[in-house]
Amino acid sequence: MEFPMRINKYLAHTGIASRREADELIANGQVIVNGVKAETGQQVQTGDKVEVIGKTKTKTYLAYYKGRGIITHSPAAGEIDIATRLAKDFSIVNVSPVGRLDKDSEGLMILSNDGRITGPMLDPEANHEKEYDILVDKPITGMFKRAMEAGVDIEGYRTKPATLKTHPKNDQRFSLIITEGKKHQIRRMCAALGYQIQTLRRTRIMNITIGKLKPNQYRKLQGEELRIFLKALGL
């Protein structure tokens, strides 16, 4: 870490709280620097003694299977989002989806109340892998495979190199590994090459896999799986 550093950034870097949580702790008088209550925007110097009074909230990390038709964020009238579904079915109210998965797609989402993971996880320069199982409307060709892997021009933007694996028993199905997440990216890539997606399911984010989860099921991330995940995010 490079000093001087804003107090909320310091608390985020040391894993105590996200910057937003740190600002709340500071406003509540729970952060002490060298024996004096910290102030919002205060700079921390090398050798400063920083203490947090009281407990911060327990951090929760979930792998969740979003079903088709469920909205990730900000539902319109008549739509159901992940937060509403979790609250209704499991009384879970303290986590939010990290990133998005469009309404017609399904599969793995990471849910958490740890604001520290959002930036590193969604950083387009971090090259974190995401894997999808995809069914299209006609048999895929060698040309389609090569184009998807090399990068596809979608409205003036060329996608990063990807990895495509064909299915041994279904020539319209394949898995795709990408390291970015433009809006409707995979659907737009396929459409640009003359293919329409029938089903799209995300099966992996970084080292987290969907496993045996079914729509609207979740499991807690913990132990070695969580340690590897957080380490890859620099936390």
Domain identity same for 108 and 216: yes
Active site residue 102: yes
Domain identity same for 108 and 217: yes
Residue from 9, 209, 220 nearest 113 by CA: 220
pLDDT in tens, 21-56: 889 999 999 999 999 999 999 999 988 988 888 866
pLDDT in tens, 87-132: 999 999 889 999 999 999 999 999 999 888 998 999 988 999 999 9
Average pLDDT over the chain, rounded to an integer = 92
Which pair of structure tokens corresponds to residue 146? 């090569």
Find the mean pLDDT for residues 69-86: 90
pLDDT in tens, 55-71: 667 889 999 999 999 99
Residue type, 210: I
Which pair of structure tokens corresponds to residue 88? 């209704």
d(CA 128, CA 153): 21
Domain identity same for 192 and 139: yes
Residue from 129, 185, 139 nearest 166 by CA: 139
The CATH number of whichever domain residue 197 belongs to comes to 3.30.70.1560
Work out the end-to-end distance of the chain between its first and last CA atoms, rounded to an integer number of angstroms: 13
Domain identity same for 93 and 66: yes
Domain identity same for 139 and 30: no
d(CA 92, CA 114): 15
Query: What is the number of other CB atoms lying within 10 angstroms of the CB of residue 186?
Result: 24
Domain identity same for 138 and 201: yes
Element (H, E) at 218: strand 218-220
Residue of higher predicted confidence among 190 and 19: 190
d(CA 64, CA 101): 12
Buried b vs exposed e over 21-53: b needs ≥16 C-beta within 10 Å? bbbbbbeeebbebeeeebeeebebeeebeeebe
The CATH number of whichever domain residue 15 belongs to comes to 3.10.290.10
The CATH number of whichever domain residue 218 belongs to comes to 3.30.70.580
* Residue 134 pLDDT > 80: yes
Domain count within the chain: 3
Domain identity same for 201 and 179: yes
Residue from 117, 138, 135 nearest 126 by CA: 117
Catalytic-labelled residue, pool 102, 104, 114, 123: 102
Residue carrying structure tokens 């971090």: 126
